[in-house]
Amino acid sequence: MIYQDTLQFAQNMDEQDALKGFRSEFLIPKHNGEDAVYLCGNSLGLQPKSAKKYIQDQLNAWEDNAVEGWFMGNEPWLKYHKALLAPLADILGAKQTEITVMNSLTVNLHLLMVSFYKPTGKRYKILMEAGAFPSDQYAVESQVRFHGYNPKDAVIEVAPRNGETTLRTEDILKQIKDNADDLALVMFSGINYYTGQFFDLEAIAKAGHAAGAIVGFDLAHAAGNVPLQLHNWGADFASWCSYKYINSGPGGISGIFVHEKHFGDTSLNRFAGWWGYRRDKQFLMAPGFEPENGAEGWNVSTSPIILMALHRASLDLFEKAGGIQALRAKSELLTGYLEYLINEVNKKYGEDVYSIITPTDKSRRGCQLSVVCKRDAKAIFNYLAQNGVIGDWREPDVIRLSPVPLYNSFVDVYKASESLFKAV
């Protein structure tokens, strides 16, 4: 694509966009009576207009059927989660039996590590990226402490080389190989929240398994953003949140992936609950936990139907848009255009006022660009906000901007670049 730094070019790109109609499916915040330029889907996705109806439908079912809503009506709640599995399977590259929808992200990571972090003898260490989101760091630290280890010894963090901001795949794989005798678990983010780097998850899974370790992924910034192939990559487990790129509301429900190769493994520990009990005997209320086959056997508590309704409102839009591959094609163009325009701003000033630390290789990033402001960083961020460009701030000098293909336009990106230019 040959980009141009003109409003006319951006308007022409929007006119040709096969997905342009989906912008009207979302509620966009206003600034001075006009649509704001919302580039913060990496933190919280926008509300689908249909969300209120999806919630109201379930409120009506509650009103009409009360407790019988679990078994009666157009969508009995006992099986409501089944409607979420097909679009999630496309987003995650998984079989439907390998997915279940439950809890929130860090809760799920803890539950999964109960099953898949099994330190024994010398093999007790966990390898992860340095600079992972703090919640992941805290979860891993507390898990190793729970098993009686010191995080300073038991947690191996892979950091960028001196003078670099992102990780090299060869360095990750080398660390896995060098610590092969000690590793119980490799747990990596799909996309690093700060830099926007999309890691080579297939290579990490292969290397982790070659080292004899279990491999799990936190897909908070990857799910709904980039195509994934969890089943084919052989990941052992994964979890994600739904409130970023999957637009399912603040604190929206999470989900887990467990590879089918583990379904018959009776040696796995798990914290059990009635909702994960085998469905054909669930209402016998018998003692002794027997898990449902598949990822649903990791469920603990009753499905929160209202949260699932919000989730479904967005997932139905993913399906209507043609799935993650269709969205990815537009995403690469949108983010590429933002990258081009930021570089054009630097050319106009004759210096690198802005530096993008997200990889330039489109296969190694998603929507997000992390932009370092070389001077007056917080003032520039404030200027953007005051002029209707909504991104988010990370200390000490990074602005994260994420054009999301379901609701952002090329004109949005052009307007953001204008504000970046004027801010300086």
Q: How far is residue 144 from each of residues 124, 126, 219, measured CA to CA in Å?
A: 8, 8, 21
- The verdict on 146 and 225 lying in the same domain is yes
- The verdict on 143 and 110 lying in the same domain is yes
Phi and psi angles of residue 392, each rounded to the nearest 5 degrees, phi first: -140, 160
User: What is the CATH number for 363?
Assistant: 3.90.1150.10
Please say whether the beta carbons of 134 and 291 come within 8 A. no
Question: CA 424, CA 379: separation in Å to the nearest integer?
Answer: 9
- Whether 79 maps to a domain, the answer reads yes
pLDDT at 1: 87
Tell me the sheet residues that pair with 189. Answer: 218
* Strand bridging mode 214-218 / 237-240: parallel
Query: CA-CA-CA-CA torsion for 12, 18, 21, 27, nearest 10 degrees?
Result: -80
- The verdict on 279 and 395 lying in the same domain is no
Question: CA 211, CA 364: separation in Å to the nearest integer?
Answer: 24
pLDDT at 9: 98
- The verdict on 235 and 305 lying in the same domain is yes
Tens-level pLDDT at each residue, the chain (424 residues)? 899 999 999 999 999 999 999 999 999 999 999 999 999 999 999 999 999 999 999 999 999 999 999 999 999 999 999 999 999 999 999 999 999 999 999 999 999 999 999 999 899 999 999 999 999 999 999 999 999 999 999 999 999 999 999 999 999 999 999 999 999 999 999 999 999 999 999 999 999 999 999 999 999 999 999 999 999 999 999 999 999 999 999 999 999 999 999 999 999 999 999 999 999 999 999 999 999 999 999 999 999 999 999 999 999 999 999 999 999 999 999 999 999 999 999 999 989 999 999 999 999 999 999 999 999 999 999 999 999 999 999 999 999 999 999 999 999 999 999 999 999 9
- Whether 1 maps to a domain, the answer reads no
- The verdict on 334 and 406 lying in the same domain is yes
- In sequence order, what DSSP letters do the residues of 284-319 get, joined into one string? G--SS--BPSSGGGG--S---HHHHHHHHHHHHHHH
Q: Which of 269, 303, 320 is the last residue of a domain?
A: 320
Identity of the residue numbered 87? P
Q: Which residues of 408-420 are buried (b: 16+ CB within 10 A; e: fewer)?
A: bbbbbbbbbbbbb
Question: CA 123, CA 403: separation in Å to the nearest integer?
Answer: 42
Range of the domain at 413: 7-35+323-423
- The verdict on 112 and 85 lying in the same domain is yes
Terminal CA-to-CA distance of the chain, rounded, Å? 28
- The verdict on 110 and 256 lying in the same domain is yes
- Whether 42 maps to a domain, the answer reads no
- Whether 45 maps to a domain, the answer reads no
Q: Which of 320, 350, 379 is the last residue of a domain?
A: 320
* Cβ count within 10 A of residue 4: 15
- The verdict on 238 and 341 lying in the same domain is no
Question: CA 222, CA 225: separation in Å to the nearest integer?
Answer: 5
User: What is the CATH number for 110?
Assistant: 3.40.640.10
Helical spans, DSSP H, in 303-409: 305-320, 324-349, 377-386
- The verdict on 345 and 273 lying in the same domain is no
Q: Which residues contact 283 (CB under 8 A, 6 or more apart)?
A: none
- Whether 285 maps to a domain, the answer reads yes
- The verdict on 312 and 395 lying in the same domain is no
- Whether 12 maps to a domain, the answer reads yes
- The verdict on 307 and 359 lying in the same domain is no
For the chain, the domain total comes to 2
- The verdict on 71 and 196 lying in the same domain is yes
Question: CA 109, CA 116: separation in Å to the nearest integer?
Answer: 10
- Whether 41 maps to a domain, the answer reads no
- Whether 43 maps to a domain, the answer reads no
Q: Which of 277, 305, 320 is the last residue of a domain?
A: 320
